[in-house]
Amino acid sequence: FAAYLTGNFELDNKKVRIYYSSLTTPGTYYDFDLKTGKSEIMKQTPVLGDFDADNYQSERIMIKARDGKEVPVSLVYRKDLFKKDGTNPLYQYGYGSYGATIEPTFGSARLSLLDRGFVFAIAHIRGSEMLGRPWYEDGKKLTKQNTFNDFIDVTKGLVEQGYGAKDKVFAVGGSAGGLLMGAIINQAPELYRGIGAHVPFVDVVTTMLDESIPLTTNEYDEWGNPNNKTYYDYMLSYSPYDNVKAQNYPNMLVTTGLHDSQVQYFEPMKWVAKLREMKTDDNILLFKTDMEAGHGGASGRFKRLKEDALEYAFFLDLLNKK
C-alpha cells in the first residue's frame, strides 16, 4: 500500500489528514483525530460498476534471486477466480531504474484483467528504492544486469509457487521498463507468452553516445558514460537492440509516440525492424505509433484507457479470451 500525510495547513489542527491506497483499496482520504484516535473517511475515488473490494486479495511476498537477494513482489487477484495451482494467467509489471519505486496502489483499469482470472504482480526489482538506496545502487551502471536477473527470477518464482501458468505469463514495462522488456526477451524469451513494451529505451549504446539528444549527458549517472570503455562494453552486453539474435521471441506489442523527446520514435522502430528480420518464430509482433503522443502516452483520461484496452485485448486474444 501507499500512505502519506496531506492537506494539514493549520498548526493548531487537532486532526491529521492521511491518504491511503492499496491494490484492493481505491485512493482514500481520512481525517484522523489525534485526541480520540478515531478516523473518518472524507473522500474515496469512486469506481464504476459493481466493484467490491472484498472480492479481491492482495499479498506481498519475497522471491529469492539467483544471487540470494530477496526481491519483494506485490500481488493482487480475484479470490473466487484464483487457485494457487499454476493455472491462472499472470501479468507481471516492472521498471527498475532511477530509484523509482512502483507503489502497490489501486488501478481500476486492471479490474478488467482480474475479473478474467489474471494475477497482477509488481516486481520491485533492483534499480528501484523499494528496499532503500542500496537497492537502487545495486541496479544501475555496472550492476544493471541485477535488474534483469531479478525480473526473470521473479517470473520463475511466481510460476514455481503456483501464482501463474508457465505458458500464460505476460510482462509489461515502459520507457526504462521497456529496456527491461528488451533485455528479458533476449535473455529468457521462453518464459513469456506476450510482452508489452511501451516507449522502450532499447538502443542504449547509440543513444548514450549521442550528446545532441537533450537528456543524454544527464543520464550518465544512471547508465554510465560510454566514452569510457568499461561502461561501453557493459552497456553493449545488455542493450536490447545490440543483443537481438536468431531465436524465438514472445508475442509482442510495442508502442511509441511520434513526439517523444525522451525515447525518440525511431529507436523502438529500428528495434522492431531488427527483431522482424532476426527472429525465428511466427509469433505476433505489433508496432503502433501514436502520431499525437509524447513520452507519457496519449493525453486525456479516455485516450489513456484506450491504450490500456489495446494492451489487454492483445493479451486476451493470445489466450482466446473475450
CB under 8 Å to 275, separation ≥6 — which residues?
244, 249, 252, 285
> Do the beta carbons of residue 66 and residue 148 sit within 8 Å?
no
- Selecting among 31, 115, 295, 308, the annotated active-site residue is 295
What b/e readout covers 82-111, taking b as 16+ CB neighbours within 10 angstroms?
Answer: beeebebbbbbbbbbbbbbbbbbbbeeebb
Q: Is 233 a catalytic residue?
A: no
> Do the beta carbons of residue 190 and residue 128 sit within 8 Å?
no
Q: Is 198 a catalytic residue?
A: no
Q: Is 260 a catalytic residue?
A: yes
| Pairing of β 39-44 and β 56-64 | unpaired
**CB count in 10 Å sphere of residue 118:** 27
> Do the beta carbons of residue 101 and residue 131 sit within 8 Å?
no
- Selecting among 74, 175, 203, 290, the annotated active-site residue is 175
Please, what sign has the CA dihedral across residues 232, 238, 244, 245? positive
By annotation, the residues acting in catalysis are: 175, 260, 295
